[in-house]
Amino acid sequence: MQPDTVKRRQNRPQPQSLHAVQIADALLKIQTVISVTGLSESTIRRKVADGKFPQPIKDGTRCTRWVAGSVTNWLRAKVLA
């Protein structure tokens, strides 16, 4: 294996553990929100725009996260509806 290949693999972001959902104040990546809700990224973004899904937090131009407690509350409301 070439050194450049090893370096590129080390720089890849690690997937977020689904255990983060259990921490109400945790900030979830879009892939975690997709896994938890079963919705596609485009559906999540459309629902956010329509006010039917929790608003994400923008932490810079390329960092968007959802508060875990907001996502779990949204899921509970869907189950009870």
3-state secondary structure the chain: CCHHHHHHHHCCCCCCCHHHHHCCCCEECHHHHHHHHCCCHHHHHHHHHCCCCCCCEECCCCCEEEEHHHHHHHHHHHHHC
Mean pLDDT across the chain, nearest whole number?
Answer: 89
Domain ranges of the chain: 26-81
pLDDT band, very low/low/confident/very high, at 8 (cuts 50, 70, 90): low
The pLDDT score that the predictor gives to residue 1 is 53
Q: Which residues contact 80 (CB under 8 A, 6 or more apart)?
A: none
The pLDDT score that the predictor gives to residue 4 is 58
pLDDT one-digit tens code per residue, 48-63: 999 999 999 998 899 9
Q: Which of 35, 78, 50 is nearest to 66 (CA)?
A: 35
